[in-house]
Amino acid sequence: MSVGRAPGKVILLGEHAVVYGEPALAAAIDRHIQVSVEPADAADAPDAFIAIAREAGWTGGFSVRIESQIPYGNGLGSSAALGVALARAFKPGCSVEEAARLAMHLERAVHGKPSGVDPAVSAHGGVIFFLKGAVERVGGSAWLCVLQSGIERGTKTTVLGLAERRKTDPVIDRSIRSLGELARQGRSFLELGDLRGLGKAFDTAHSYLRDGLGVSCLELERAADALRAAGALGAKLTGAGGGGAAIGLARDQAHAGEIAEKTGGFAVGIGS
């Protein structure tokens, strides 16, 4: 038996914008998927699993067992983590770059035309600055509260819908550029330990995602408002929107725990 493991993620800043060549700031979280792979007479699995296996050099049939701590359909990178875990199970010792590349087979099957940021942060861990496929590790650390909206959503539908509206709505491109700039600023805030600045960037980014891109929803608005009311320094949706989860920035671990207790979310630390 061969085992692979990979973490989920949150997009701190830059979701959607990253699809159009702008940067994103993303962080791995301490929620994981573990995959166990064993030889079998056949490979009764999705085509993307088989593609990962074959490209990783696994030639025979196989069976797969999946154990997940990551809620599906909440913008927390469950498909990317699964792809990276599969890559590591089929090819133990593969590099982070190869694990991320192999995971793209599953990302394309699930999301259509993904940016690649999700498997990149799942494979690298920590916090990354992702721009047009290039990955830079980011220093600094923070604590967040993740609050699920209660609405599952599919990234493919949200991304494709935005792409269609972008053809006729110039506000979308302006918002995309602004979201990319916020990702650049957010990187500096995190590296400098400026949590107030980062929290303000969260709030501003959420306004662009809601008003400029139109990818929020009532449930996400309630989640973000609940996080702010519980004391978060800033809050925003994370991921594609249309459901999923919101994240609130905390002062420290204890504060994140307090926000989680008040809202029913869960606290996670990010970065070094």
- DSSP per position, 15-82: TTGGGGT--EEEEEEEEEEEEEEEEESS--S-HHHHHHHHHHT--SEEEEEEEE-SPTTSSS-HHHHH
Quick one: tokens of 62? 């196989």
From the candidates 118, 194, 211, 252, give the one annotated as an active-site residue. Answer: 118
DSSP one-letter code for 18: G
Q: Is 252 a residue of the active site? A: no
Q: Say which residues have a Cβ less than 8 Å from residue 51's Cβ, sequence separation at least 6.
A: 105
Q: How far apart are CA 2 and CA 174, in angstroms?
A: 47
Least Cα distance to 3 among 38, 35, 28 occurs for 35
Contact yes or no for 25/125 (Cβ under 8 A): no
Quick one: tokens of 69? 């701590």
Please give the backbone phi and psi of residue 248, each rounded to the nearest 5 degrees, phi first.
-120, 135
Q: Which residues are catalytic?
A: 118
